[in-house]
Amino acid sequence: MKAETFSRKYGIDIERIRADFPILKRQIKPGIPLVYLDSAASSQKPSAVIDAMSEYYRNHHANIHRAVHTLAEEATGMYEAARAKIAACIAAQPEEIVFTRNATEAINLVAQSWGRTHLKAGDRILLSEMEHHSNLVPWQILAKDRDLQLDFIPLTGSGELDLDACETLLGRGPKLVALTQMSNVLGTIVPIREIVRSAHRAGARLLVDAAQAASHMAIDVLDLDADFMAISSHKMCGPTGIGALYGKTEVLRDMPPFLGGGDMIRKVDWRSFEPNDLPYIFEAGTPAIAEAVGWGAAVDYLTAIGFEAIHRHETDIAAYAMESLREMPGLTVLGPEPSKRGGVVSFTLEGIHPHDIAQILDSYGIAVRAGHHCAMPLHTRLGLSATTRASFYLYSTFEEVDALAAGLRKVRAIFA
C-alpha cells in the first residue's frame, strides 16, 4: 500500500495535507528528514492553526468578557466562536463545553466538583486496566479522601475490555464509570456506546476519556449519551494549553465551582458569591484565548478533511505497520487486530530496551515514544516495564512505516 491509495480510497490528498504542516519539512540533521511517529503524545499543527493564532495576537487580542472596547468584543467573539466549533464537532451545545487546560484538568474537574458532591464513603467507581494516569490518579485522590472503592474492568488476552467482567462489575452498583475510548498504549477502541447503556441501566454516570479518540474519529455525544467527556486540543492539531470538559447540561448544573476567581461569578460580596451561568462557572480567571482560537481553526481543518477519512487512513497505516513489524524476529506488537484499533502501535523487541530503540531511531530522524506512556499499571499488568510506541495521524504515510521498519532492522543489527 502506498500513499496514493489514501487519496484514491478516501478522496483526500496526503501530499497536500503534508504541505499544510510546516514542521514536516524539517530535517532532524542535515539530509535526515523528520519521520514523526509520536502523534498520540501530541499532534503537529497545520499552518491554518498557526496563522489563526498569529492573526488573533496581531490584530484582535484583549481580555474577554470584561470590557466593551472593540478589541475586547472581537476577542470575546472569537473565543466564543471557538467554543461553538468545538461543541459542534462532538454534537454538543456551547454551554456544555467548559474550557480547561487539557483533558487531564477536565477529568480532575469532574473528580473534584461532581465527585466531592455526589460520592460518599463506600461508593464505587469503575475504571479499566487500560487507563492513562489522567483517568486513574484523580480517582485515587478522591477515593483516598472520600473512602471510595475503585474497581477495574480486566483486559482480554487480545487487549480489549472483558465485557462480561464489565457487566459483573456493574452489578456492584458503581456511581461512576470512567473509561478511555481509545487506549494510548494498545490502540484498542472501546465499545463505549454499549458500555454507556449498560452503565446507565446500572444507575451509574459515565465519563469518557476521549483524549485519544477525539482526534481520530467522529464523536457524537448525543448518540453516545455519555454524561462527561474529556478532550485535549493538542492531540487534534490544535495548540497545547487548552482542552475541554463536555458535560450534559443537567449534570453540570448540579455541580459546584471547581476554581474560584474572576469570570466565574455573577455577584460577589465580602462573605459570599453568586456563581455565573454555564459554562463560565467553571472557567475562573483569564482563559487561554489564543489557544481557543487556534483549536477552533484545528477543528475547521479536521472537519473539512472528515473524521471518517482520517480514521480509515490511520487504521490502514496501523494495519500496514503491524504487518511490517510482525515479520521482524523477536518483535511483539501489543493490542488487538487492526479493525479494533486506532493509529497506535506499541511493541517490544526482545532483549532491547525501548529507550535504546527510541534513541537509535532518533538518529535516523524517526520520532517514537518509549516508556510507560503514562500507563504504568497497564504495563505492570502486561508484565512489562516499558514499550516502544509508533503513533500515526492524518499526515502519516506508508513510506514512514517503511522507514520505521528499516530503522528497527538497524537497531537489531546494532544489538546482534
Q: Point out the residues that are catalytic.
A: 374
Q: Label the pairing between strands 27-29 and 32-33.
A: antiparallel
104 binds ligand C6P per the rule CB under 6 A = yes
Q: Which residue's CB is nearer to ligand C6P, number 3 or number 40? A: 40
Q: Which residue's CB is nearer to ligand C6P, number 76 or number 180? A: 180
Binds ligand C6P by CB under 6 A, chosen from 113, 180, 215, 387: 180
215 binds ligand C6P per the rule CB under 6 A = no
Element at 338 (helix H, strand E): none
d(CA 110, CA 45): 29
CB of 253 to ligand C6P, least distance (A): 25
Question: Is 317 within 8 Å of 396 (Cβ atoms)?
Answer: yes
103 binds ligand C6P per the rule CB under 6 A = yes
Quote the DSSP letter at residue 115: I
d(CA 360, CA 286): 43
CB of 47 to ligand C6P, least distance (A): 22
Q: Which residues contact 294 (CB under 8 A, 6 or more apart)?
A: 45, 49, 50, 52, 53, 56, 233, 238, 239, 242
Range in contact with ligand C6P (rule: CB under 6 A) among 127-135, 194-202, 303-311, 352-360: 127-135
Q: Which residue's CB is nearer to ligand C6P, number 333 or number 374? A: 374
373 binds ligand C6P per the rule CB under 6 A = yes
Q: Which residue's CB is nearer to ligand C6P, number 180 or number 388? A: 180
CB of 107 to ligand C6P, least distance (A): 7
217 binds ligand C6P per the rule CB under 6 A = no
| DSSP code per residue over 249-289 | HHHHTTS--SS-STTSEEEE-SS-EEE--TTGGG--SS--H
291 binds ligand C6P per the rule CB under 6 A = no
Tell me, rounded to whole angstroms, the distance of Cα 390 from its chain centroid.
16
d(CA 346, CA 335): 8
CB of 203 to ligand C6P, least distance (A): 25
369 binds ligand C6P per the rule CB under 6 A = yes
129 binds ligand C6P per the rule CB under 6 A = no
39 binds ligand C6P per the rule CB under 6 A = no
Cα–Cα distances in angstroms (integers) from residue 156 to residues 5, 47, 153, in the given order: 33, 42, 10
CB of 368 to ligand C6P, least distance (A): 11
Q: Label the pairing between strands 273-275 and 243-247.
A: unpaired
184 binds ligand C6P per the rule CB under 6 A = yes
Question: Is 119 within 8 Å of 176 (Cβ atoms)?
Answer: yes
CB of 389 to ligand C6P, least distance (A): 8
Binds ligand C6P by CB under 6 A, chosen from 43, 44, 76, 102: 102
d(CA 156, CA 358): 28
100 binds ligand C6P per the rule CB under 6 A = no
Question: Is 195 within 8 Å of 177 (Cβ atoms)?
Answer: yes
d(CA 246, CA 244): 6
CB of 102 to ligand C6P, least distance (A): 3
Cα–Cα distances in angstroms (integers) from residue 171 to residues 11, 89, 292, in the given order: 46, 34, 41
Binds ligand C6P by CB under 6 A, chosen from 264, 374, 378, 394: 374
Range in contact with ligand C6P (rule: CB under 6 A) among 131-139, 143-151, 300-308, 396-404: 131-139
Positions that interact with ligand C6P (CB under 6 A): 40-41, 102-104, 132, 134-135, 180, 184, 209, 211-212, 232, 243, 369, 373-374
